[in-house]
Structure 1
Amino acid sequence: MHQYKEVLSNLIQKYLNNQISSDEYKELWRILNEFPDEVILDEHLRKLWESVKSDAPVIKGEVWDSKMQIAKEQLKEEAPISTSKVRSIGFLKRFRWAAVAAIFLVAITSIVVLNKQQEKNIYAGAVKPTVEHDRLPGGDKAMLTLADGSTIVLDSAGSGVLAHEGNTNIIKQSDGQLVYNSGDGASKELAYNLLQTPRGGKYKLILPDGSKVWLNAASSLRYPVAFVGNERRVEITGEAYFEVAKDATKPFKVALNNMEVEVLGTSFNVNGYADEDEVKTTLLEGKVKVSANSSTKFLAPGQQAQLKSTGAIAISNNANLEETVAWKDGFFQFENSDIKAVMRQLARWYDVEVSYKGNINKHFVGSISRDVKLSKVLSMLEQTGEVKFKIEGKNLIVMP
């Protein structure tokens, strides 16, 4: 561990100053997740705290020690997240210490930023939101509407062949994934299915061409049961992540709101929720063409197209890919997100109605599993000391 001390301190300093790169961020989590000895880690975290606090510390050393102990005790009480749910970018490989690290980084970042902006002391104690009826996390929930208008509730349907549409078999696999298998001599007539997820739901399916789609909560995907003609065209609302099968003879097109995304074979995310200010298309691999209101833009990996309310398309050259696809990998990831942006995500996943009492000018940084109860997420957010929550049935009240 001695060899990591200088590297770890440097990475945390960059994190706190918002100067850390994507590769450095991954390395920070890797080091934090590989400490073999809890006693050594405790001591090193204490020393790191001493190194980053100011001459007029915003939190006393004994309070910090108490805070870390409370955090670890809370983690011991919680059921661990399955080790099979590992993020593809390698952030959280060992839950308990990764979670302690997350608490450390979120709390420290919040305190430092608040101290600079407001010049007041914050006690970031671990407090629990007022809960009358806690909310469970979402899961694999969706309704499938067939071409004839009949519906299938997928989360309660058994595995196997669910329906036949022409020569296409619609199959629910044992892992819950929906698959379309087209036989020979598929119909030349377009027949459409509609997949809809409720608030608190998500679903994955494989389209007839082999393309994979992950559908986020409160979203929908309309698609043909067999791709015929010279294009593959689907329509979405809400948010979806695509891994498109290559077919140079049939471009894949995604329509959402007033935007169209055209690809041949690539990986990208589209977010078109009605309550968001922009429609966003983020490219991870390949190349896409984005069109809206007679304007066309081409994206390279790492870029994001943002369709503004004015109809103009803006291009961001440094899209945060980890934050964009965190939902697909089972996480909330916040990168300087304001309170309302955070609450919109929680409202969709936990199926709650959010209301505000008072003005809260607060931004959040951190990563939290989507597999825990709502109260656990809120408790982490409350540790910043600048926001409080109360859950009353399906109502979530946010207070300063």
Structure 2
Amino acid sequence: MQQRNQYKNIDDFLTDESFQKWVREGDQRNHWEEWTVENPERAKLVAEARLWVLAMRVPESPLSSSEITAALQASLIKIKSIEKETATLSVPLWNRIGWRSIAAVLVLGLALGWLYRRQAVSQDTLTYAELINRDADGLIEQTNNSNKPQLITLSDGSSVLLQPKSKLSYPKSFEGNERNVYLLGEGFFEISKNPKKPFYVFANEIVTKVVGTSFRIKAYTDQPNVEVVVRTGKVNVSSNQSLTQSSKASVQLLPNQAVRFVRDRLVFEKITDITQEKQIIKTVTAIEQISFEFSDVPVAQILKTIEEAYLVEIDYPQEKLKDCYLTTSLSDQPLPEKLKIICESLGSTTRYEMNGNRITILSTGCN
């Protein structure tokens, strides 16, 4: 008892385990309540110390030192702003020192509470590394370390235009009744249609489910949002944690619609018209703007359009195809399907070979 009679600062109480137990659990073995009311000045100090203990009562979570530091820095900024406001008052509501302590406790408590909430939710949300480690089948991982998009063709005929600083993991062949791939970064997907075998793109916090369509996903770990933008067809986007919880909640998107997953608030924001969103319009790639509808157009021009859209190089016999024209629709088709349609239209002597971003068309001419 004599020891706590010497307490002069809040720190003295915060390091006293019996005091913390009294505040958190109502433990009266050391008669803290009776001791507190014996002296008005003492009661004030105890009240402030209680606020500190209650504010810091956040369930244990593996917060990193950088997150805690950020929370403390944000708290200090808030406290300073409060000090400036209270300094203008002619009659302070509380003693100035007491007000700063209470403000610090409340702000710090809110900051730590927010960090815990974010950490708790993220524990249910699988990251790219965790997702590919959970996949039972062996996966091929493609990393784009270049400064331009990289074309990836999947075993089902689907194609992905993978942006720089991005990764895509996918199986050599799709087994079972699903087609699953995993994205870290940004990619434009054109999915081969197969209603009996839906296609899933797992991109950190979100899962995009499609049957056959084209869309772009932007899911970098160091950016505040994850975005899905639909060019053709229909997709369903949900949080990957909803799958483990058997939740049916999802956002359905149609052409020229998008959804943004806001990481700091853990919510989905649906955008019904991307033309009204300057932020999205600025990031639209060439392949999302080019039309693939052709009416009596030279084959050379069609191939040039494909080169511009996919940033690939196409070698073809120019002399043999210079008088060839096509009328065709290549919209909503993966690149391999586009090339197949062109070759079949030119005749049985025409075929193509693809090696990464280089395509070779072999032909004796059009019929």
Q: TM-score, normalised by structure 1?
A: 0.34
Looking at secondary structure, tell me which structure has more strand per residue.
Answer: 1
**Based on CA coordinates, which of the two structures has the bigger radius of gyration?**
2
- Tell me: higher relative CO, structure 1 or 2? Use CA pairs within 8 A at least 6 residues apart: 1
Looking at secondary structure, tell me which structure has more helix per residue.
Answer: 2
